Amino acid sequence: MTLQDTEAAIRLASDLIAESDHLVALVGAGLSAESGIPTFRGAGGLWSKVGEPSMNGYEQFLADPAGWWENQLDPAADPARTEFREAIDSAEPNPAHHALAELERMGVLKATITQNVDDLHNRAGSKRLIEIHGNRTKVRCIGCEGRWSRDEFSYDALPPICPKCGELLKGDTVMFGEPIPPSVIDACYREATLCDCIMVCGTSATVYPAAGFPQIVTSGGGIVIEVNPNPTPLSRIAVVTLRGAAGALLPKLVERLRG
Ligand code: APR
């Protein structure tokens, strides 16, 4: 894509966003790539290196919650996971996170649905944020969906128990095979149904239900804008594609929309 093409795509994308009534951003690991956090798939991806986790992680947690917590709290238990966590711990929000928070402050972006668990959107100031795969700085009750910061608990006695309802606490990050908490998935579908323009940034659009939200938008007559250096299954339904890094492109959108 030439520079002229990119500039034209940014003009078109910002015009479409300006005309939209309910813009929603759907975000994936690519948004945090420029913060130094590895993506999952593609070159250098975490799963590309170590393989996708087993689909029965949640089942294993339910079968032995204390053993699951012991494993979670032991950095040596999973070096790749520890490396990923260290990348998150040393990461800062990048211009893409700040651009989404600014679009929200401008009243242009109505909600951000993120698949990322790295807390960088919160740190960049996003408020209307739905963390569909959870947030790794938190623990969650599998009964009442209560959430607390991880460091509000001591982990001497395992597994930690919900102070509100007595059910099990686990990391807030949604595991493979774990149902997405009902309040979270309801909020996502509500936004997808209201949305007339979904900007899909930095996701390979391969994991459901998140990857299905753009289809809900288009079936309601809405449009898809894609921000990704690489093609994805959504590229063919996007009315405009910004083929590049979100950290470079999203601030340009903000600039144009500021007028
Ligand atoms: N800007 C925008 N997009 C980027 C950038 C960047 N700087 N760098 C990489 N990308 C794109 C890649 O081209 C790829 O399409 O980000 C996408 C990352 O895809 P994945 O690694 O599959 O991450 P994601 O789509 O978020 O995965 C979804 O899978 O394993 C689960 O829970 C995990 O939330 C994750 C889900």
Q: Is the pLDDT of residue 165 over 70?
A: yes
User: What phi and psi values does residue 161 have, to the nearest 5 degrees?
Assistant: -115, 145
> Which ligand 1 atom sits nearest the alpha carbon of residue 232?
15
Cα-to-centroid distance, 138 and ligand 1 (Å): 22
Which helix H or strand E contains 219, and what residues bound it? helix 213-219
Cα-to-centroid distance, 84 and ligand 1 (Å): 14
What is the model's pLDDT at position 179? 96
Q: How far is CA 125 from CA 29, 47, 100, 203, 259, in A?
A: 18, 29, 9, 21, 22
Q: Is the pLDDT of residue 161 over 80?
A: yes
Q: Which superfamily is assigned to 1-37+93-135+175-259 in CATH?
A: TPP-binding domain (3.40.50.1220)
Q: Give this prediction's pTM.
A: 0.97
Cα-to-centroid distance, 101 and ligand 1 (Å): 19
Q: In this structure, which long-range contacts are made by residues 122-125, counting pairs with CB atoms below 8 Å and at least 24 apart in sequence?
A: 123/92, 123/93, 123/97, 124/93, 124/97, 124/98, 124/100, 125/98, 125/101
Cα-to-centroid distance, 190 and ligand 1 (Å): 23
- The catalytic residues are 133
Output the ligand 1 site: residues, CB below 6 A.
28-30, 33-34, 39-42, 45, 115, 133, 202-204, 206-207, 227-230, 232, 245-247
Q: Is the pLDDT of residue 4 over 90?
A: no
Q: Is the pLDDT of residue 210 over 90?
A: yes
> Which ligand 1 atom sits nearest the alpha carbon of residue 52?
30
Residues sharing a CB contact under 8 Å with residue 181, sequence separation 6 or more, in sequence order: 140, 145, 174
> Which ligand 1 atom sits nearest the alpha carbon of residue 132?
34
Q: Is the pLDDT of residue 206 over 90?
A: yes
